[in-house]
Amino acid sequence: MIDSTGYTYAHEHLHIDLSGFKGDIDCRLDQYALICDEMRTLMNLGVRNIIEMTNRYMGRNPQFMQDLMRDTGINVVACTGYYQHDFYPEHVATRSVKALAQEMIDEIEKGIEGSELKAGIIAEIGSSKGTITDLEKKVFNAAAIAHHETGRPLSTHTSFSTMGLEQLALLSGFGVDLSRVVIGHCDLKDNLDDILRMIDLGAYVQFDTIGKNNYYPDAKRIDMLHALRDRGLLHRVMLSMDITRRSHLKANGGNGYSYLLTTFVPLLRQSGFSQADVDVMLRDNPSQFFQ
Ligand SMILES: [Zn+2]
């Protein structure tokens, strides 16, 4: 499932379309040639795996992912699940928890939308800002059932770094071993206290909005990473960029996927991180978690 010899971007999107929800064509990320170029660049930088977090109702495209794997050699791990309340299709409310779980199980065991691509992760399952709605709790319940049935790990979406601890409490209540859970978007606010508690509970945390300096500056991400390094906790941290828009691509004036390795990692190194520290977060942790 994972090529453990190289780096893994733990929370990305390669083909996503939230333009209908957001009323902005920029939110349709679908430019194949540009993304192909960027994946080739990543391969040259030592990246071997992309964990693709776009589930069915976010504009997932299995053919697009398969073409990218064939044309660039990068390994893409696809996901199954439901995103977050505001983006749910109507049937999340009407179908049973068991039926929702079975859809996830089928995408893991049989394949996605008639393709040969199978989901390797249950993601990104999310909560709203400052609350987990009843429907979101229902999806977490279904995700936990699918996890127990298939053994595949769980990766979440938090809104602006809120409710991570509550997500873990919920999953723990559904009998999930929290070492099989990674909490997403932990790096969008001063969040060290919650991060320490999440790691203490056994979960992984993602710093996966690297480069989104308009939300939260990378310098502060680096400060939080230092606090984790000082405590010997880097073995629970994964990194990524959560690219979702056309304007995030390099050719369209954005950072591009390579920013993490060509800009952020050099900043980390200058601040005192060793290459071994970087390798733990970008290679060893995701290799172990997504295996
Ligand atoms: Zn997300």
209 vs 217: CA distance, rounded Å = 10
Q: Which residues surround ligand 1, an ion (CB under 5 A)?
A: 124, 157
Q: Any known ligand binding at 242?
A: yes
Q: pLDDT grade, residue 110 (50/70/90)?
A: very high
State in Å: Cα 157 to ligand 1 middle: 4
Task: Scan for tokens 């453990």, then name that residue.
Answer: 4
The superfamily (CATH) of domain 7-290 is Metal-dependent hydrolases (3.20.20.140)
Detail the DSSP E strand segments found in the chain: 7-12, 16-17, 28-29, 47-52, 75-80, 119-126, 154-157, 181-183, 204-207, 237-239
State in Å: Cα 9 to ligand 1 middle: 14
* Cβ pair 140, 163 in contact under 8 A: no
pLDDT per residue as tens digits for the range 180-231: 999 999 999 999 999 999 999 999 999 999 999 999 999 999 999 999 999 9
138 vs 93: CA distance, rounded Å = 9
The pLDDT score that the predictor gives to residue 1 is 83
Instruction: Please choose, from the candidates 136, 239, 247, the residue with its C-alpha nearest in 3D space to the C-alpha of residue 187.
Output: 239
3-state secondary structure 222-250: HHHHHHHHHCCCHHHEEECCCCCCHHHCH
175 vs 180: CA distance, rounded Å = 11
Q: What is the mean pLDDT of the chain?
A: 97
Residue 163 has pLDDT above 90, yes or no: yes
Q: Where along the chain do its domains lie?
A: 7-290
* Cβ pair 56, 87 in contact under 8 A: no
Task: Tell me the C-alpha to C-alpha distance, in Å, between residue 80 and each of 39, 59, 159, 181, 213.
Answer: 22, 12, 19, 15, 29
What share of the chain in percent tops pLDDT 70? Answer: 100
State in Å: Cα 243 to ligand 1 middle: 10
pLDDT per residue as tens digits for the range 55-86: 999 999 999 999 999 999 999 999 999 999 99
Residue 172 has pLDDT above 90, yes or no: yes
Q: Any known ligand binding at 148?
A: no
State in Å: Cα 12 to ligand 1 middle: 9
Q: How far apart are the first and last CA of the chain?
A: 6
Task: Scan for tokens 């960029």, then name that residue.
Answer: 241
State in Å: Cα 152 to ligand 1 middle: 19
State in Å: Cα 278 to ligand 1 middle: 23
Element housing 98 (H / E): helix 97-109
Instruction: Please choose, from the candidates 283, 246, 211, the residue with its C-alpha nearest in 3D space to the C-alpha of residue 27.
Output: 246
* Cβ pair 204, 237 in contact under 8 A: yes
The pLDDT score that the predictor gives to residue 140 is 98
The pLDDT score that the predictor gives to residue 248 is 97
